[in-house]
C-alpha cells in the first residue's frame, strides 16, 4: 500500500518493504554514502534518520545509531531473537536494530535496507518538539499512560530534584537523595498542548497527597511539575488554579511546581516497563487500571 505521493514500489522494494525481505549486503546505494541530509521512508515519505547519526559499521547495510524521535517503531520478531524496525507512520519494513555492540557511544545500530529509504540532501525542517517533566508516583505508571497520547513522541523514565549525581534506582528508593521519580515527555504542541498534557496528568494520580500514591510512599513519589520555562510555570499554576476553583477534589492540590534541575535517565530496564512486563503483578494491579482510566476519560487524545 502506497500511502503518499511517492512513486510505486519496484518489485525489489516491495519484496523488502512489504515482504520484510533483506537486500544483499554491500549492495545498497546508501551503504557507503555519507552526504549531509535526511533519509525518508521510501513508501510514505516520513523522515526517519539524519545523516549526522549515520556511521560506518562494516556490516554491509546503512547503519544509524539513532532515529528521529517517534518516527521508528521497534517490534520483537516472532522468533524472539531480533528486533524489527518499521516506519511508525506506514509500517514499512526498514530492517533490524541491535544494541550492545559498542560501535558508537549510543551503543545502538539501526541496520536499514537502502531500498527502504530515499535521501534528500537538504535538511528537512523538523517539528518543534517540547519537553515536560512530571512526577506522579511510580514512573512506570506515568510513562505507560502518557505514552498513549496523540502528539507524544517519547516518554523517558528518570529522576530529578535531588542532590546526588547519577543516582541509581536503589539510592532513590531509599528516599535519601531528594530525587523524585519522573517521566520526561517529548511532545508536539501542535497536537497536544502543555495544558492538555497537565489535565491528563492530574487525573492519573492524586495531586492532593504530596508523597503518597497508593502503596507508594516517600518523597520519591511526589506529585510534581518540573517546568522547563517560565511559560510552562505560568501554565501549570493556571491549570492548578482552574482545577482548585472547580473543586475537582475535596482536598487542596499540593503538587510541587519547581524549575527542572538535572534530569537523570533511569536504568534501561525501567524504560517502557509495562510494555516489557505486561504480566508482572504491579503492572496488572496498578498500571493496567490507570491505562483503562486513560482510555475512558481521554479517548479523544489517544493516538
Rounded-to-10 torsion of CA 85, 68, 8, 75: 20
| 136 CB neighbour count, 10 Å cutoff | 27
Task: Please answer whether residues 62 and 23 qualify as being in contact, where contact means their C-beta atoms are separated by less than 8 angstroms.
Answer: no
Tens-digit pLDDT profile for residues 156-190: 999 999 999 999 999 999 988 999 999 999 998 98
**Domains of the chain: which residue ranges?**
11-120, 130-301
Place of cell 559498542: 102
Q: Which CATH class is domain 130-301?
A: alpha beta
At 125 the pLDDT is: 52
pTM score, whole prediction: 0.58
Of the candidates 272, 164, 146, the one whose C-alpha atom is nearest the C-alpha of residue 220 is 164
Q: How far is CA 154 from CA 43, 87, 124, 137, 199, in A?
A: 23, 15, 20, 19, 18
Distance CA 165, CA 61 (A): 39
- Cβ contact 102:3 at 8 Å: no
The reply to whether 130-301 shares the fold of 11-120 is: no
32-82 pLDDT tens trace? 999 889 999 999 999 999 999 999 999 999 999 999 999 999 999 888 889
CA distance 187 to 151: 5
C-alpha cell at 55: 556511521
CATH class of 11-120: mainly beta
Judge contact between 115 and 17, C-beta under 8 A. Answer: yes
Q: Of 41, 138, 141, 283, which is the active-site residue?
A: 138
Sign of CA dihedral 200, 143, 86, 39: positive
Catalytic residue among 87, 90, 111, 283: 111
| R_g of the chain, CA atoms, integer Å | 21
Q: Are strands 223-227 and 256-259 parallel, antiparallel or unpaired?
A: parallel
Active-site residue, 111 included: yes
Residue 123 DSSP symbol:
P
Q: pLDDT exceeding 70 applies to what percent of the chain?
A: 95
Quote the CA–CA distance of 66 and 111 in Å, as a whole number.
11
Q: What percent of the chain has pLDDT over 90?
A: 63
- How buried is 8 (Cβ within 10 angstroms: 0-12 exposed, 13-18 middle, 19+ buried)? exposed
Segment 209-249, tens digit of pLDDT: 888 788 888 898 999 999 999 999 999 999 999 999 988 88
Amino acid at each position: 500500500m502506497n500511502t503518499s505521493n511517492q512513486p510505486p514500489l519496484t518489485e525489489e522494494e516491495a519484496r523488502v518493504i512489504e515482504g520484510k525481505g533483506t537486500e544483499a549486503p554491500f549492495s545498497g546505494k546508501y551503504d557507503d554514502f555519507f552526504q549531509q541530509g535526511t533519509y525518508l521512508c521510501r513508501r510514505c515519505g516520513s523522515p526517519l534518520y539524519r545523516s549526522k547519526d549515520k556511521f560506518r559499521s562494516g556490516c554491509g547495510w546503512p547503519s544509524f545509531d539513532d532515529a528521529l524521535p517517534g518516527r521508528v517503531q521497534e517490534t520483537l520478531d516472532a522468533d524472539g531473537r531480533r528486533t524489527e524496525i518499521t516506519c511508525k507512520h506506514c509500517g514499512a519494513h526498514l530492517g533490524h536494530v541491535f544494541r550492545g555492540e559498542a560501535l558508537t557511544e549510543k551503543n545502538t545500530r539501526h541496520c536499514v535496507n537502502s531500498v527502504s529509504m530515499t535521501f534528500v540532501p537538504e535538511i528537512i525542517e523538523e517539528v518543534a518538539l517540547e519537553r515536560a517533566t512530571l512526577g506522579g508516583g511510580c514512573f512506570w505508571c506515568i510513562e505507560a499512560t502518557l505514552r498513549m497520547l496523540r502528539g507524544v513522541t517519547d516518554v523517558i523514565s528518570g529522576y530529578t530534584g535531588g542532590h546526588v549525581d547519577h543516582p541509581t534506582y536503589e539510592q532513590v528508593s531509599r528516599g535519601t537523595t531528594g530525587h523524585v521519580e519522573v517521566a520526561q515527555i517529548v511532545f508536539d504542541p501542535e497536537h497536544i498542548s502543555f495544558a492538555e498534557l497537565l489535565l491528563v496528568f492530574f487525573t492519573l494520580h492524586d495531586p492532593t497527597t504530596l508523597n503518597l500514591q497508593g502503596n507508594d510512599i516517600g518523597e520519591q513519589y511526589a506529585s510534581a511539575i518540573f517546568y522547563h520555562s517560565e511559560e510552562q510555570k505560568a501554565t501549570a499554576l493556571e491549570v492548578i488554579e482552574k482545577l482548585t476553583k472547580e473543586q475537582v477534589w475535596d482536598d487542596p492540590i499540593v503538587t510541587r511546581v519547581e524549575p527542572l534541575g538535572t534530569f537523570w535517565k533511569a536504568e534501561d530496564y525501567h524504560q517502557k516497563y509495562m510494555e516489557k512486563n505486561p504480566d508482572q503483578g504491579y503492572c496488572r494491579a496498578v498500571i493496567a487500571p490507570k491505562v483503562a482510566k486513560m482510555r475512558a476519560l481521554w479517548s479523544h487524545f489517544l493516538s
